[in-house]
Amino acid sequence: MSPLQKHIKQTGLKRLVLAFGYSSQGFKAGWREPAFRQEALAAFVLVPLAFWLGNTWLEQAMLVGAVVAVMVVELLNTAIEAAIDRVGPEWHDLSKKAKDLGSAAVLMSLAFCVLVWTAALWHKFLPA
């Protein structure tokens, strides 16, 4: 029985334990990606800073959420790239399109994060 079949047939706590294990493996795989490592290290600094910079829980949530969103999109982009690479090494228009779309999603999440943090810093140090 494959690990996926083993997971699907489980219920309750056993299924949650297996799902946590698969998620842990995903984080380990993500950590092997330089872009994800850089974003995780930035998050190590930015998340605590968000609690100093944000005045309300909503501001803090936006700052933290923008950072977490970048990491989530990076993991999804890495998953897309891995799936495309699994299909084969030959160049194909649809493979390129999938990878380019994943890259564009990362860029959009990074731009959003920069905008949120810039606005928060502006508000903190250059109030109107």
Residues with catalytic function: 74
User: What's the burial of 98, exposed, middle or buried (CB within 10 Å: 0-12/13-18/19+)?
Assistant: middle
Closest CA to 78 of 43, 10, 27: 27
Sole residue written with tokens 């909503």 = 58
Degrees to nearest 5, angle at CA 63 with 59 and 68: 140
Sole residue written with tokens 């109030």 = 127
How far apart (Å, rounded) are the C-alpha atoms in residues 95 and 85? 9
Closest CA to 80 of 115, 33, 113: 33
